[in-house]
Amino acid sequence: MPIDLRHDPEVVDLVDKTTTFVRDYVLPLEDANRGDITAAGGDDLRREMNAKAKEAGVFAPHAPVEFGGQGLNMCDRAPVFEAAGYSTFGPVALHIGAPDEGNVHMLERIASEEQRHKYLAPLATGEVRSAFAMTEPSPGAGADPDALRTMATKVDGGWKINGEKRFITGAEGAGFYIVMARTTGQPGDRGGATMFLAPADTPGITVRRHIDTIDKAMIGGHCEVDFVDVFVPDADVLGGVDEGYRYAQVRLGPARMTHVMRWLGAATRCHDVAVDYVARRAGFGGRLGDLGMIQQMVADNEIDLAAARALLLKACHELDLGGHASNETSIAKTFAAEAYSRVADRSIQMCGGLGVSADLPIARLSQELRPFRIYDGPSEVHRWAIARRVVGRARKAQAALEAATAGGAR
């Protein structure tokens, strides 16, 4: 029986609407501000774009229907998010950017009824933004979550959190934080973490500085944030105490895939710009697009984009079936992050001097794409995790075979 990879007409229509909205309204805003969301107006621009997205019927395709979203599953999000990601401002406009999109996904699944109304509702509607505070300065948690040093101590009626966080996307201007803190054990111990919900105006929370990075399109920056005796009531513990890492898995796999979706749009734009250029540019007695070396780069871009799209849909299918899809998401994320950089680099090369200039968007798009090999887990960590799972399965199979052989010899 063949597998039907087509999307329902309603999803196709939403993709078409998103494509039109992004290319007619959002792209000009991005280009006019060289892709810098802060220079373009930050939250003021976000609110303006969100209002336009609502008018166009493309706002929050991922969010619960009860809060004004369209409730798409992971497979149906893929083409919509890709269409939005064609502009680096597109995810902000549709309210599907990191970290808000991942936080909506997680809160929908594990928040209590009180937390849904207090935190999820205003986030899903775009009334506020949010931040996910996990990464810490060395020697704290980064690619190794077990190194978590931020501590939450039990007090009467709740918890007090103390620690430093770093590279917290969207921290400046966020309405609330989801904070990962250790509630059991010591740094280096496996597990023992808990997630807490904390309004940004809670005493003791301080955004110290923006870290200047090469990507400029994520609203609220990447910041250092201090938590000093931050009180969180018991009602704002998200999920179970000491089970933060388990609950965070609800967010991490899907969030990796929505990054793949959004940046697929940006990589496709790099490719489209380059193909348009070589199809028109005269040189060496013809058009650049007729040269074999150029055609190889065009073909390699097409292959990388198609492969990333296929791996993405495979992982999304597994997630929609209810699985963790740890291996599938790691494979798709690692391949896509590296493929997109290859696509951008080839696109720059095809456009020659214009490729590295501000006359075309490819150079700055390549800077937006490069961090994906680090964000949501460095490629090296994902490769280690993939290999560990594969070797682990082989060892289990060997052990089972040895046990069966020993049993048959009795």
Q: How far is CA 129 from CA 83, 121, 157, in A?
A: 22, 11, 27
Q: 139: cis peptide before it, omega within 30°?
A: yes
Domain-located, residue 115: no
259 shares a domain with 282: yes
The Cα 59–Cα 126 span in angstroms is 9
Domain-located, residue 408: no
351 shares a domain with 273: yes
CATH number for 56? 1.10.540.10
369 shares a domain with 271: yes
Beta bridge partners of 282: 287
Residue 313: other Cβ atoms inside 10 A? 17
The Cα 271–Cα 302 span in angstroms is 8
161 shares a domain with 72: no
Query: What six digits make up the tokens of 259?
Result: 């990054």
Residue with tokens 């220079």: 39
pTM for this structure? Answer: 0.95
363 shares a domain with 313: yes
Each residue of 263-296: b (16+ CB within 10 Å) or e? bbbbbbbbbebbbebbeeeeeeeeebbebeebee
Q: CB of 342 within 8 A of CB of 263?
A: no
Query: What six digits make up the tokens of 188?
Result: 């280096």
Angle at CA 107, nearest 5°, toward 105 and 109?
Answer: 75
Query: What six digits make up the tokens of 6?
Result: 């087509």
Domain-located, residue 400: no
89 shares a domain with 25: yes
pLDDT score, position 4: 82
The Cα 405–Cα 292 span in angstroms is 57
Query: What six digits make up the tokens of 14?
Result: 């939403």
Q: Which of 242, 273, 307 is the last residue of a domain?
A: 242
CATH number for 167? 2.40.110.10
- Which H/E stretch holds residue 230? strand 222-233
CATH number for 373? 1.20.140.10
279 shares a domain with 379: yes
Residue with tokens 């680090």: 374
185 shares a domain with 69: no
Domain-located, residue 300: yes
134 shares a domain with 87: no
**What is the SS3 assignment for 202?**
coil
The Cα 252–Cα 67 span in angstroms is 22
Residue with tokens 């494509």: 19
Domain-located, residue 14: yes
Angle at CA 369, nearest 5°, toward 368 and 374?
Answer: 105
Q: Which of 53, 77, 96 is the last residue of a domain?
A: 96
CA dihedral 332, 338, 340, 341 (to 10 degrees): 170
Q: Which of 222, 242, 262 is the last residue of a domain?
A: 242
Mean pLDDT, consecutive 10-residue stretches, the chain (410 aa), reads 85 98 98 97 97 98 95 97 98 97 96 97 98 96 93 98 98 98 95 97 97 96 98 97 92 95 98 98 91 97 98 97 94 98 98 97 98 95 96 94 77
pLDDT score, position 2: 73
Domain-located, residue 46: yes
Torsion sign over Cα 207, 214, 129, 335: negative
pLDDT score, position 283: 87
Q: Please tell me the total count of domains within the chain.
A: 3
Domain-located, residue 403: no
Torsion sign over Cα 202, 206, 210, 211: negative
Domain-located, residue 43: yes
Query: What six digits make up the tokens of 316?
Result: 């999304």
346 shares a domain with 330: yes
250 shares a domain with 178: no
**What is the SS3 assignment for 55?**
helix
48 shares a domain with 174: no
Would you list the DSSP string of 129-155? -EEEE---STTSSSS-GGG---EEEEE
Helix-, strand-, coil-residue percentages of the chain, each rounded to 5: 55, 15, 30
- Which H/E stretch holds residue 181? strand 176-182
E runs forming strands in 28-175: 130-133, 151-155, 158-169
The DSSP letter of residue 7 is P
Burial class for 100, CB neighbours closer than 10 Å (0-12, 13-18, 19+): buried
pLDDT score, position 405: 87
Angle at CA 355, nearest 5°, toward 353 and 359?
Answer: 90
pLDDT score, position 130: 98
**Residue range of the domain that includes 353:** 246-394
Q: How far is CA 95 from CA 59, 268, 281, 371, 378, in A?
A: 7, 21, 38, 21, 25
